[in-house]
Structure 1
Amino acid sequence: MVSTVTAAAVAATVTDPELPMLTLADLGVLREVDETGGRVVVSITPTYTGCPAMDTMRDDLEHALLGAGFAEVEVRTVLEPAWSTDWISENGKRKLAEAGIAPPGRAPRRSGPIPLTLSAPVSRVRCPRCDSADTEELSRFSATACKALRRCRACLEPFEHVKEI
């Protein structure tokens, strides 16, 4: 069976297993889709080293592309350059906020070694429910390592925040 859609269009519909409101394209994890004949090579970048969702992402991409009629699919992991929350699309950030998850701000720009600090970084994260900037971090880690658990002091609602990296 020959597909009438491009492999890139099919790959762009695959959602993230941990943030299902986002596609891998929204998240910036989907790097490249090369289609030659019936062979498709997809390149993805993990959000961080050891991301447990990578196997599921790979399986979901293969399943979607094979289901769309592509005969041979290879999913490659690309580690350089390292993924950054800056790669999340504006549409993706909007979808996060609509789902009650505070999207990340700009990632810190660092060159050289990252200094060790014993205090948590101070960040202004707006509440995705009431838009107040009066929020506090409850836990540096939430349901996944890439998110923190926060609470709004204005509406008192807890929410997750995708951490800037």
Structure 2
Amino acid sequence: MVTATALEAELLELAGAVPDPELPVLTLQELGVLRAVHVHGTDTVEVDLTPTYTGCPALETMSLDIQRVLRAHGMREVTVRTVLTPAWSTDDITAEGRRKLREFGIAPPRAAAAGPVPLTLGPTRTHAPESGPGSEPVRCPHCGSADTELLSRFSSTACKALRRCLACREPFDHFKEL
């Protein structure tokens, strides 16, 4: 395992503080898409970035924002590489990121079950948890109720679904588990 230098750690922190263009309440570090920073020489850096999904339209904006921040910190040459392995997962969102999503009114992804995410096609309402790990209901970020329903499998981005709380009647986004 290669240990990061102090400069790499500093640049990783700077790049990690860049806000996500689609969810500006989260930083790239909190979203878990920033993988590594490698410094070559004194003013050249390579950044590894994993998109939330292969066709993510925000990838270009994230790359440009990282380049801008690191160039402002004295890096002459900044290259942002798209790294697809290991694939990004909602497990990569930090606890702080999940808290911020909830406060912003987006239901964070549920805790992951061990192994593949099961896909069950069925009712759109989630009144009570099913049995087994990772099967807790999607809770309303406004009132905490587990009595919610799916309105659309896709919301403002492909990463989110649109749901409605049946208790407080408020619609909300749910960051889907991947």
Fold shared by both chains (TM-score > 0.5): yes
Q: Identity of counterpart residues, as a percentage?
A: 58
Residue 160 of structure 1 is matched in structure 2 by 173
Q: Is the 8 A contact 1:96 1:103 kept in 2?
A: yes
Distance in 2, Cα, partners of 1:57 & 1:152:
32
Q: Is the 8 A contact 1:84 1:107 kept in 2?
A: no
For 1:34, what is the secondary structure of its paired residue? strand
The residue identity in structure 2 corresponding to 1:90 is A
- Greater CA drift, 122-131 or 139-148: 122-131
Q: Is the 8 A contact 1:41 1:74 kept in 2?
A: yes
Residue 51 of structure 1 is matched in structure 2 by 56
RMSD of equivalent CA atoms: 2.1
TM-score (normalised: structure 1): 0.88
1:105 corresponds to 2:110? yes
Residue 25 of structure 1 is matched in structure 2 by 29
The answer for unaligned runs of 5 or more in structure 2 is 1-6, 127-134
Q: 2:74 aligns with which of 69, 72, 96?
A: 69
Residue 4 of structure 2 is matched in structure 1 by none
Alignment of 1:32-43 (within 5 A): 32-36=36-40, 37-43=42-48
> Where has structure 1 moved over 4 Å in runs of 4 or more?
117-123
The answer for unaligned runs of 5 or more in structure 1 is none
Q: 1:10 aligns with which of 5, 11, 14?
A: 14
For 2:96, what is the secondary structure of its paired residue? helix
Residue 90 of structure 1 is matched in structure 2 by 95
Aligned length, in residue pairs: 159
